[in-house]
């Protein structure tokens, strides 16, 4: 499912990649990346996101299909002639070189003069806020600083496109979160096109203009983070991107983009239906935990049911409730912790509910 791209720098056209001739690592990929966009390829291990990146970089050649960069067919163009910057998870810095020498390496192999090289390295160091670090060795830097050196090396020869393959994976959580915002702000300042690979949903949501979600070699959906989260096009996307309650149901009737479906336990649920399904079709009624209304607030909701609190977990800024409802004990509610909020105790009977527009009927 592709959203419109105003001016594409990158195009994948009917791209397929198989390593053994039997199983497709990537299949039927049609994807565009807009000029100056920050696009994240997101998915679990083996979903095809890294293979997609390596084909774009030129390290792998598609089995079928074509790849275009800035209107040029680069499918058969070697890595060194694509003019693409790369940042890897392990940074791939040369330990025997200084920071400045590491950054200058792409310029040296391109035959840039010493004076121009010195000026460009200084500018790249300034871009990543490492002025004065040029004479240090990589091992004298923190993990976050090494990551910025790797980014500077990718930027120094002014590529039209930068590819980043899980570059924050080796950092601890706090530094990782800090670097997410640094990379995002760097992208905004430089107005460069970036394609980023990660399996971390929060990272993708934080940094990206759009996110492309992959599963088993196929592109499942590509859209802005908010739309992906609030309007998933499939059950896989709903479950992979954040937490969801998914109730198995059978469609009874549908009209005007909505449906009424019956759960196995007999209750009926009204929901938005993005793709029409005939009566009798099996669907899942998907609702996010933070969209659930409780107590008196639930009583006016079109979808209202009885539940019992099984577990209460305090998460700092949130309280997570696990409820017994619909014949199971795994229905999740998340509440923002606010002053004067009601307290909850296991065993308490409580009404729950949600609006029809907060629930989506999705086929498998």
CATH of the domain at 273: 2.40.50.140
Q: Give the Cα separation of 167 and 197 in Å (integer).
A: 8
Residues 153 and 94 in one domain: yes
Q: What is the pLDDT of residue 266?
A: 94
Is residue 270, in this structure, part of any structural domain at all? yes
Residues 30 and 151 in one domain: yes
CATH of the domain at 51: 3.40.50.300
Tens-place pLDDT, residues 337-349: 887 677 789 999 9
Residues 121 and 174 in one domain: yes
Residues 277 and 218 in one domain: no
Domain boundary among 210, 235, 260: 235
- The pLDDT of 91-115, averaged and rounded, is 92
Q: Give the Cα separation of 210 and 38 in Å (integer).
A: 7
Residues 176 and 261 in one domain: no
Residues 40 and 149 in one domain: yes
Q: Which of helix, strand or coil describes residue 163?
A: strand
Residues 286 and 213 in one domain: no
Report pTM. 0.88
Residues 308 and 216 in one domain: no
Write down the mean pLDDT value for the chain.
92
Share of the chain above pLDDT 90, in %: 75
Is residue 354, in this structure, part of any structural domain at all? yes
Domain boundary among 188, 205, 235: 235
Residues 254 and 215 in one domain: no
Q: What is the pLDDT of residue 6?
A: 52
Q: What is the pLDDT of residue 217?
A: 96
Residues 168 and 248 in one domain: no
Share of the chain above pLDDT 70, in %: 98
Is residue 1, in this structure, part of any structural domain at all? no
**pLDDT category of residue 328 using cuts at 50, 70 and 90:** very high
Q: What is the pLDDT of residue 1?
A: 44
Spatial CA neighbour of 188 closest among 38, 5, 311? 38
Tally of domains within the chain: 2
Q: What is the pLDDT of residue 340?
A: 66
Is residue 3, in this structure, part of any structural domain at all? no
Domain boundary among 201, 218, 235: 235
Is residue 347, in this structure, part of any structural domain at all? yes
Q: What is the pLDDT of residue 88?
A: 85
Tens-place pLDDT, residues 271-326: 999 988 999 999 999 999 999 999 999 998 999 999 999 999 988 889 999 999 99
Does pLDDT of 2 surpass 70?
no
Spatial CA neighbour of 56 closest among 222, 194, 251? 194
Q: Are the C-beta atoms of 19 and 60 separated by less than 8 Å?
A: no
Tens-place pLDDT, residues 32-65: 999 999 999 999 999 999 999 999 999 999 999 9
Enclosing domain of residue 90 = 8-235
Is residue 2, in this structure, part of any structural domain at all? no
Q: What is the pLDDT of residue 182?
A: 85
Cross-strand partners of 308: 324, 349
Does pLDDT of 74 surpass 70?
yes
Is residue 140, in this structure, part of any structural domain at all? yes
Q: What is the pLDDT of residue 262?
A: 97
Residues 201 and 258 in one domain: no
Look at 216 and 175; give whichever has higher pLDDT.
216
Q: Give the Cα separation of 287 and 241 in Å (integer).
A: 13
Buried/exposed 160-190: b ≥16 CB within 10 Å, e otherwise: ebbbbbbbbeebeeebbeebbebbbebbeee
Q: What is the pLDDT of residue 185?
A: 87
| C-alpha pair distances (Å), 176 with each of 91, 108, 162, 195, 307 | 14, 31, 19, 18, 39
Residues 311 and 248 in one domain: yes
Q: What is the pLDDT of residue 191?
A: 82
Q: What is the pLDDT of residue 4?
A: 45
| Pair of tokens at residue 61 | 């050649």
């Amino acid at each position: 499912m592709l959203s419109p791209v105003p001016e594409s720098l990158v195009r994948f056209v009917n791209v397929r990649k198989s390593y053994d001739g039997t199983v497709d690592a990537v299949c039927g990929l049609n994807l565009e990346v807009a000029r100056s966009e920050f696009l994240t390829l997101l998915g679990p291990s083996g979903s095809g996101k890294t293979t997609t990146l390596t084909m774009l970089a030129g390290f792998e050649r598609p089995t079928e299909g074509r790849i275009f960069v800035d209107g040029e067919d680069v499918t058969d163009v070697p890595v060194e002639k694509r003019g693409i910057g790369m940042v890897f998870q392990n940074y791939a810095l040369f330990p025997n070189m200084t920071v400045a020498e590491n950054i200058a390496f792409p310029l040296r192999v391109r035959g840039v003069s010493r004076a121009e090289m010195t000026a460009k390295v200084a500018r790249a160091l300034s871009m990543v806020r490492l002025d004065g670090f040029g004479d240090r060795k990589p091992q004298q830097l923190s993990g976050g600083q090494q990551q910025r050196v790797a980014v500077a090396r990718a930027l120094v020869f002014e590529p039209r496109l930068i590819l980043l393959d899980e570059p924050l994976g080796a950092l601890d959580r706090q530094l990782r979160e800090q670097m997410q915002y640094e990379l995002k702000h760097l992208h905004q300042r430089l107005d460069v096109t970036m394609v980023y690979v990660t399996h971390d949903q929060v990272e993708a949501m934080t940094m990206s203009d759009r996110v492309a979600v992959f599963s088993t070699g196929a592109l499942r959906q590509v859209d802005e983070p908010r739309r992906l989260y609030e309007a998933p096009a499939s059950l896989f996307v709903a479950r992979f991107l954040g937490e969801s309650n998914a109730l198995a149901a059978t469609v009874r009737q549908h009209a005007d983009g909505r449906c009424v479906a019956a759960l196995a336990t007999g209750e009926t649920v009204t929901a938005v239906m993005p793709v029409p399904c005939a009566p009798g079709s099996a669907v899942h009624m998907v609702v996010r935990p933070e969209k659930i209304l409780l107590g008196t607030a639930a009583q006016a909701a079109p979808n209202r049911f009885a539940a019992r609190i099984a577990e209460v977990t305090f998460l700092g800024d949130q309280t997570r409730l696990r409820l017994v409802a619909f014949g199971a004990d795994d229905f999740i509610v998340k509440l923002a912790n606010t002053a004067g909020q009601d307290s909850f105790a296991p065993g308490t009977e409580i009404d729950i509910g949600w609006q029809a527009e907060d629930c989506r009927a999705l086929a498998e």
